[in-house]
Amino acid sequence: MTRQQLFSIAFFAVLVLLLYQIGLMFRPFLFPILWAVILAHLTFPVHARLSSWMGGRETLSAALLTLAIIALVVMPLLLLGVMLVKEARGAEQAVRGWIVSGGIERLPDQLARLPIGGDLLRDAIRQAETKQGNLESFFLSSARTVSEFLVNEVSDLIRNVFLLVADFLVMVVTLFFFFKDGRRWLSSAYELIPLDAAHKQKIFRRLDQTVRAVVKGLLLTAIAQGLLAGVAYWALGVPFPVVLTALTMLLAPLPFGGTALVWVPVALYLFWVGPVGKALVMLAWGAGVVTTVDNILKPVLIGQGAQIPVFLLMFSVLGGLALYGVIGIFLGPILAGLLITTLQIYREEYSGRDALPAPASESD
């Protein structure tokens, strides 16, 4: 082994060690930084246009855009938290009023009117009444438990506000510097990647397409589904429509269940309290409109834009959610898109074959 080879091995060993140590230091801030990366990538064209209008003052543009994003994120979350606490208290009072008005006595007959499983639920309630002896205290304690759980969760968030604020500040500061210096950092990273220029262009182009398609597709679909379901909640007089609308948006990206995890129980509730026509409207609206929007928008916005087969898209969302949490809903499809591009490069360059054909779902 020559002296130059020894120096090379020592250099790369030191480089790997330094990268490992830096990774350990940055690990607590990984998810806030990833959120900042996603937000910066989506809004960077706005920053470029804004800085152009300001005569090239990128620092001022970065500051203004960061403040705007803070206002758009923080204020809705604060309002939603306040509404959640108020409506949780209201739900407990509503259950108490229902019990006082004789709701327990009417419960078995009302459950029997449900189109699916009504008789089984009625028998289960009667058996529970026989075992428990006093269902009123059971329902009151259950309502109090749920209400206290929601209030305690919000209280825990407030008690842990330091950690939340710290993560949020990391994201905000990172976002500002991505706006300010992101173009230069990206250019430096691009030069350091030890790949052929054509391969780097293909990977970065796919990364850009996938991030934009996945984030826009999931967010726009979730917002559209939540608003459409929220209109039904409000029009049909369902209690606590704000929380239900927010919950519908939150669950919309899930491949299995999704918005049906909210509007199906709402329809069952309407079957229970009557009239039955409202429940049928909720079922028809949920299955015919809310779900249809998901089936139309996601394949158009994500499948075609990111060029990911629907099957792989579905499991990448689920796997990303299980592995990384909420941000995994976005990371899963992004990683899947990069894998497809890497396999295409391998097929073209190393296996002696043409590029992989486009998935069937892309041409639909």
Does the structure show a pLDDT above 70 at 353? no
State mean pLDDT over 6-17: 87
- Give the CA angle between residues 37, 41, 45 to the nearest 5°: 150
The verdict on 258 and 314 lying in the same domain is yes
2: in domain: no
Which domain range does residue 145 map to? 25-178
275-307 pLDDT tens trace: 778 888 888 898 888 888 887 777 777 766 667
The verdict on 34 and 154 lying in the same domain is yes
The verdict on 169 and 207 lying in the same domain is no
307: in domain: yes
pLDDT for 252: 84
The verdict on 242 and 270 lying in the same domain is yes
The residue assigned the tokens 């008690």 is: 159
Does the structure show a pLDDT above 50 at 361? no
121-131 pLDDT tens trace: 656 655 655 55
3: in domain: no
Are 139 and 94 within 8 A, CB to CB? no
33: in domain: yes
112-123 pLDDT tens trace: 665 555 566 656
The verdict on 199 and 104 lying in the same domain is no
Domain final residue, candidates 143, 178, 213: 178
Does the structure show a pLDDT above 60 at 134? no
Are 299 and 364 within 8 A, CB to CB? yes
The verdict on 255 and 340 lying in the same domain is yes
The verdict on 209 and 144 lying in the same domain is no
Calculate Rg over the CA atoms of the chain: 26
- Domain tally, the chain: 2
What is the rounded distance in angstroms from the CA atom of residue 208 to the CA atom of residue 212?
Answer: 6
16: in domain: no
1: in domain: no
51: in domain: yes
The verdict on 71 and 157 lying in the same domain is yes
The verdict on 129 and 225 lying in the same domain is no
The verdict on 227 and 115 lying in the same domain is no
Whole-number Cα distances in Å, 345 to 88, 189, 203, 303, 359:
53, 20, 9, 20, 16
Output 222 or 164, whichever has higher pLDDT.
Answer: 222
Structure tokens at 322: 């299980």
State mean pLDDT over 43-49: 85
Contacts of 281 (CB under 8 A, 6+ apart): 232, 236
Helices (H), the chain: 3-26, 30-53, 58-100, 103-112, 118-132, 135-159, 161-192, 197-235, 241-251, 260-273, 276-285, 291-298, 305-306, 310-324, 328-349
The verdict on 93 and 127 lying in the same domain is yes
Domain final residue, candidates 137, 152, 178: 178
14: in domain: no
Domain final residue, candidates 109, 143, 178: 178
- Evaluated on CA atoms 296, 209, 64, 82, the torsion sign reads positive
Output 235 or 144, whichever has higher pLDDT.
Answer: 235
The residue assigned the tokens 């960061």 is: 66
The verdict on 160 and 201 lying in the same domain is no
Percentage, residues of the chain above pLDDT 70: 70
Backbone angles phi, psi at 25, to 5 degrees: -65, -35
State mean pLDDT over 169-191: 86
